[in-house]
Structure 1
Amino acid sequence: MIRYLLIVFSFCFFSAKAQIPTASANTKCSLLTVSAGSQLYSLYGHTGLRFYDKQQGFDFVVNFGYFDFSTPNFYLKFVKGDLKYFVGIDRYEDFYANYVFEQRGIKEQVLNLKSAEIQLIINDLATIVNSDGKFYTYKFFHRNCTTMVADLIAKHSSITPAVINEIKEKSFREIVSEYQSPLYFENLGINIMFGYYTDSKADAVFLPEQLFTAYEIQGQEVVSKTNVLNKTSLVLDVPWWNSVFTLFAILLTLVFVHEFTRRFLFVVLGFLGIFLAAAGLYSDHVEVLWNYNILLFNPLFLYFAFAEKKSVRRKTFQVLAVVSVLVHLIYVLNKPQLLLFAPIYAAVFLLLLLDSNLLTAIKQNRTKGLNHNI
């Protein structure tokens, strides 16, 4: 419902030429940077673009971050990479009240734009919200609420984001993992989905705080004034069970409890590998392509779940499985997901060790040796 209300408001605000706000010397355009929220999709913060003129009596915020949860096949479209986000126009007081209610911080940077540049941006927005251009295909790193705002400003002015140290020094995966780190299972899931591309160095700002910094460090040539509109008071409430120790406990229990639970674990790991392979073929998101996590979540594990214990090929497949996990482990030794995957490494090696009957053979040899000594 919110989607349609926003589109109606946007249409009414910019529906006719006479209703398009006219920028004057008193018109201001500012970047609004909202701090992280408590939901997974809000962990990275949010960016809005505010236009206001007290004399003319308008004050609204352009928001490129709207999506509709009721979209048919929402999650399939998200994984596929063709989920449509859309631009909406909010009244500033509504935008402000919403994030104050969520206890999230709001910082404002008044941009050093000429009235002619502000008018060009407003005119462009009027065209966007009155056409199919209000919908865009979301991309994790290159097309989101932050990049869309930065691109719009750069299109009609000389203001572009500076290259900040974080972009120079860190990969996409390292950057987003820092935001996700309080939530272990969410962080683990996202890192499982991300493939080879996310290990490359970030090539431009793509998160709200990054854009704030990229403008701020350029001084008054870009930002004439910075205001703190609301201080964050949100304390992220992380459940006690959302930790690496919980996963260790679950996996070790499944490994040692019974032969049936070990087979179940092989099935889960194997089907997860098939899912990753399918997502890489199906999705338009470059971030999930060439997902080397298939080496860890190996579809070959399904063989161990269903094949006979005395199968001739079993030892060969055991060696292949061990080698694939070792290759994965070596590759991620210097990557942020190493500790995230630690319980999975432990479980997989124990599964393969028990499946090879190596422990049984060792016990039998010790028993024979003891009987011989007696």
Structure 2
Amino acid sequence: MKYLYILLLSCLMHTAWAQNKLSAESRVSLVTIAPGTELYSFFGHTLIRVYDPATGLDRAYSYGTFDFQTENFYWKFLKGTLPYSLSYNNMSDVLNYYSQYENRTLREQVLALNEDQKNQIFQALEKNYLPENRYYQYKFFYDNCATRIRDIFEQAAPGAYPWATMSRLEGLSYRDWMNRYLPSTAWVTFGMNLALGLPSDVTANASQSCYLPDNLEIATAQAMLNKQKLVEASFTLFEAQSNPSGSFDLLGPIPVLLAISLVLVFLSLRFSHKKGLLYGLDIVLFFIYGLLGILIFFLATATDHEVMSNNVSCFILWPINFPLVFWFAKNHRDGFWLKYVRIAFIVAFIASLISGYLFYGLFIIALPLLVRLFFLSRFYSK
């Protein structure tokens, strides 16, 4: 009886959804929200607005919703299994939130679609909003709030996006596009690049670059439908007040890591005869880098984050260096441990050059580690 009730309820919901139709006066728009100042908002956001004056409908659909109350939230976030979902709100509430609370610019592009195409998009959104369909496994580069909307538009207007001619959206890797939206000298930028593996360095084509809301907006502005622009009107819903640009951060990764590296060079030269001091220093240094290496290795091998796999940084932050430091830091003149340290230095140096080519900050992260491995290897005494 319970299953019969569920089946009946599902049929009723489906019937109600199927009968829900937009009028000829309705319009469908792409709404692009500018990047914000918090990490989760650095890359902007995108929505589909469905407006129908005949029924008073004015919804903003978003594929970027998640719930902090999800069981084991942080573990699922770390593992890449946190479910995201489609949600909608009244457009007036969305506009009020982003303008009054986050001070972020909102731009709207009204699409020149016929009634069937508008209803196709609306029905797709309503179908996706059903409880059994609304949740999905979020992928930052491949399946996010912008790519899902891109796919819906392409299904409703096949061939409208001339991807092959959009040279402005080509030529950069996923990582390069990401870094355009991150503060160049911030810890979060260094950390995110450290966690990314080689899949993030694949060159994205024009369609793939639309994982970023701004790029989807650009592509939509260039799209053509029946030899006419896909966008029939575009305007700014809210213009944010400009925020003052940040000053140079003395506690940022560049000054801190360079200072640590210089101090390590000085101590390694000045106190080479005081083995106890340098031994304790090595324990602390390799402990910190070892924990970081374990985290990066975990992200690369034991999570669903495909873009973190094949991470060259694992060879810089070699995880086993931490437990082994108790032996190689004390016995680095011993034949076996001397060979180990030299091999570790060469591998870390080559990996840091490769990683630094992909993002300069990764070489800077490696510097303190390279300094101590270099002195432990006794290359300087030759």
TM-score range, shorter chain: 0.7 to 0.9
**One of 282, 295, 310 as aligned partner of 2:302:** 282
User: What SS class does the counterpart of residue 179 from structure 1 fall into?
Assistant: coil
Shift of 1:269: 1.4
Alignment-mate amino acid for residue 306 of structure 2: V
Give structure 2 stretches of 5+ with no counterpart: 1-12, 268-276
Partner of residue 184, structure 1: 186
Q: 2 CA distance for matches of 1:281 and 1:341?
A: 20
Shift of 1:333: 5.0
Relative to structure 1, the CA distance from residue 20 to residue 99 in structure 2 (aligned partners, 3 Å threshold; closer, same or farther) is farther
Partner of residue 211, structure 1: 216
User: What SS class does the counterpart of residue 186 from structure 1 fall into?
Assistant: helix
Verify the 8 A CA contact 1:161 1:211 in the aligned structure 2.
no
User: What SS class does the counterpart of residue 48 from structure 2 fall into?
Assistant: strand
Verify the 8 A CA contact 1:38 1:236 in the aligned structure 2.
no
Q: Do residues 247 (structure 1) and 257 (structure 2) align? A: yes
Relative to structure 1, the CA distance from residue 250 to residue 231 in structure 2 (aligned partners, 3 Å threshold; closer, same or farther) is farther
Deviations 1:132-174 (A, max 9, x none): 2111100011110001111122223336544333542100111
**One of 156, 169, 172 as aligned partner of 1:170:** 172
Relative to structure 1, the CA distance from residue 170 to residue 74 in structure 2 (aligned partners, 3 Å threshold; closer, same or farther) is same
Q: 1 CA distance for matches of 2:286 and 2:17?
A: 65
User: What SS class does the counterpart of residue 290 from structure 1 fall into?
Assistant: coil
Relative to structure 1, the CA distance from residue 307 to residue 242 in structure 2 (aligned partners, 3 Å threshold; closer, same or farther) is same
State the TM-score, normalized to the length of structure 1. 0.84
Q: 1 CA distance for matches of 2:77 and 2:159?
A: 31
Alignment-mate amino acid for residue 351 of structure 1: R
Q: 2 CA distance for matches of 1:190 and 1:180?
A: 10
Partner of residue 37, structure 1: 36
Verify the 8 A CA contact 1:254 1:265 in the aligned structure 2.
no
Between the two proteins, the alignment pairs up a number of residues equal to 347
Matches within 5 A, 1:95-244: 95-101=94-100, 102-158=102-158, 160-163=160-163, 164-182=166-184, 184-203=186-205, 204=208, 205-218=210-223, 220-235=228-243, 238=246, 240=249, 241-244=251-254
Matches within 5 A, 1:1-150: 17=16, 21-101=20-100, 102-150=102-150
Q: 2 CA distance for matches of 1:195 and 1:118?
A: 40
Relative to structure 1, the CA distance from residue 155 to residue 64 in structure 2 (aligned partners, 3 Å threshold; closer, same or farther) is same
Deviations 1:278-329 (A, max 9, x none): 2222112210111111111112422552115224421111111111122113
* CA-based RMSD: 2.6
Between the aligned residues of both structures, percent identity stands at: 26
Partner of residue 365, structure 1: none
Relative to structure 1, the CA distance from residue 236 to residue 41 in structure 2 (aligned partners, 3 Å threshold; closer, same or farther) is farther
Verify the 8 A CA contact 1:107 1:229 in the aligned structure 2.
yes
Partner of residue 302, structure 1: 322
Q: 2 CA distance for matches of 1:326 and 1:137?
A: 36
Shift of 1:347: 0.9
Alignment-mate amino acid for residue 217 of structure 1: Q
Q: Do residues 291 (structure 1) and 290 (structure 2) align? A: no
Partner of residue 281, structure 2: 261
Verify the 8 A CA contact 1:37 1:234 in the aligned structure 2.
no
Partner of residue 336, structure 2: 313
Verify the 8 A CA contact 2:173 2:203 in the aligned structure 1.
yes
Partner of residue 5, structure 2: none
Partner of residue 5, structure 1: none
Deviations 1:59-118 (A, max 9, x none): 111111111123232232123221100111110000101110211011101011111111
